[in-house]
Amino acid sequence: MYKLIDGKKISAQIKDECREKAARLNEQGIKITLAVIQVGNDPASSVYVSNKKKGCEYIGIQSLSYELPEDTSEEELLALVRKLNEDKNVNGILVQLPLPGHICEDKVIRTIDSHKDVDGFHPESVGALCIGQLGFVSCTPAGIIQLLRRSGIDIAGKECVVLGRSNIVGKPMALLLLRENATVTVAHSQTKNLKEVTRRADILIVAVGKSQMITKDYVKEGAVVIDVGIHRNAANQLSGDVNFEDVAPVCSAITPVPGGVGPMTIAMLMHNCVESASRS
């Protein structure tokens, strides 16, 4: 019988810990402020932004909201980021991605002060993770480490396969698992004999962006499976990158979608904001 890894419960624990830390900082006269910038009104982005604001409210973080029109120029956006970099009252800056096509995301991310980069996307944050220095870690992979640890799953010495090599999930995930002393393989669209590779995994992290692609023939008996994918169908139902019904019976533990990795991303964002305020 597999164990269901409960992201709702674990993320609630983390948020409560953040709330306590935020209260202690408030007692010392330190207020925590997150600036959230959204350009345009992509519906999915609006949902994410609204959830982030709700998270801030719960923790006791002030959120400053910048809702800019779709035709905002790159220079206007960069000027706002620079202004927020200078503002001593702002601890974290979050620019909701994706940005409209006429704005270079890379340039915007590089412009954020790395000390306020609570999303962990700045090259300095990624570099710090790579060489084991202090910096902000991308929220989704950081959340997955918490899911594993808090579910009592040992990572050290395990064979971990990360399916996907994006800058936001796959690559930082691999680095974090390495930091936890796992033996790590990263698979992607050019990987040969993919099923053979994924079947080596004691812990399989799936961030492939293809609804229900992973069936039981990709999974070793007794493996732990973490499903990062989120897909919404025409009937508004959510699914992951893993075919849960097929895979769950062969696993020792698995995350559901929804209620697995998703809630952890916001919890870790809150964690990074509180961390930023306490560092400063």
Residue 150's φ and ψ, nearest 5 degrees, are -75, -5
Whether 6 sits among the annotated catalytic residues: the reply is no
Q: Are strands 33-39 and 3-4 parallel, antiparallel or unpaired?
A: unpaired
C-alpha dihedral over 132, 138, 139, 143, to 10 degrees?
Answer: -40
Give 68 or 207: the residue with its C-beta nearer to ligand NDP.
Answer: 207
Based on the shown chain and the rule CB under 6 A, indicate whether residue 261 belongs to the binding site for ligand NDP. Answer: yes
Q: How many whole angstroms separate alpha carbon 37 and alpha carbon 50?
A: 11
- Active site residue: 15, 21, 38, 52, which one? 52
Residue 188 vs residues 191, 192, 197, 205, 234: alpha-carbon distances, Å: 5, 9, 11, 12, 27
**What are the start-end ranges of the E strands in the chain?**
3-4, 33-39, 62-68, 92-95, 159-163, 183-187, 203-206, 224-227, 231-232, 238-239, 253-254
Based on the shown chain and the rule CB under 6 A, indicate whether residue 110 belongs to the binding site for ligand NDP. Answer: no
CB of 105 to ligand NDP, least distance (A): 12
Q: Let me know how long the chain is.
A: 280
Q: How many whole angstroms separate alpha carbon 221 and alpha carbon 184?
A: 19
Whether 113 sits among the annotated catalytic residues: the reply is no
Based on the shown chain and the rule CB under 6 A, indicate whether residue 269 belongs to the binding site for ligand NDP. Answer: no
Based on the shown chain and the rule CB under 6 A, indicate whether residue 229 belongs to the binding site for ligand NDP. Answer: yes
Of 24-32, 64-72, 148-156, 190-198, which part binds ligand NDP (CB under 6 A)? 190-198
Based on the shown chain and the rule CB under 6 A, indicate whether residue 5 belongs to the binding site for ligand NDP. Answer: no
CB of 7 to ligand NDP, least distance (A): 9
Q: Report the residue from 38, 96, 140, 212 that binds ligand NDP according to the rule CB under 6 A.
A: 140
Q: How many whole angstroms separate alpha carbon 64 and alpha carbon 100?
A: 21
Give 78 or 197: the residue with its C-beta nearer to ligand NDP.
Answer: 197
C-alpha dihedral over 65, 70, 76, 80, to 10 degrees?
Answer: 10
Based on the shown chain and the rule CB under 6 A, indicate whether residue 210 belongs to the binding site for ligand NDP. Answer: yes
- Name the residue type at position 5: I
Whether 52 sits among the annotated catalytic residues: the reply is yes
Q: How many whole angstroms separate alpha carbon 3 and alpha carbon 203?
A: 14
Q: Are strands 231-232 and 238-239 parallel, antiparallel or unpaired?
A: antiparallel
- Active site residue: 15, 21, 117, 119, which one? 119
Give 123 or 157: the residue with its C-beta nearer to ligand NDP.
Answer: 123
Based on the shown chain and the rule CB under 6 A, indicate whether residue 166 belongs to the binding site for ligand NDP. Answer: yes
How big is the site for ligand NDP, counted in residues (CB under 6 A)? 24
Give 135 or 260: the residue with its C-beta nearer to ligand NDP.
Answer: 260
CB of 139 to ligand NDP, least distance (A): 7
Based on the shown chain and the rule CB under 6 A, indicate whether residue 208 belongs to the binding site for ligand NDP. Answer: yes
Q: How many whole angstroms separate alpha carbon 232 and alpha carbon 93?
A: 28
* Non-local CB neighbours of 271 within 8 Å, separated by 6+ positions: 14, 17, 18, 142
Of 27-35, 39-47, 124-132, 227-235, which part binds ligand NDP (CB under 6 A)? 227-235
Q: Footprint of ligand NDP on residues 144-163 (CB under 6 A)?
A: 163
Residue ranges in contact with ligand NDP by CB under 6 A: 140, 163-166, 168-170, 188-191, 194, 207-210, 228-230, 241, 261-262, 265
What residues are annotated to the active site?
A: 52, 96, 119
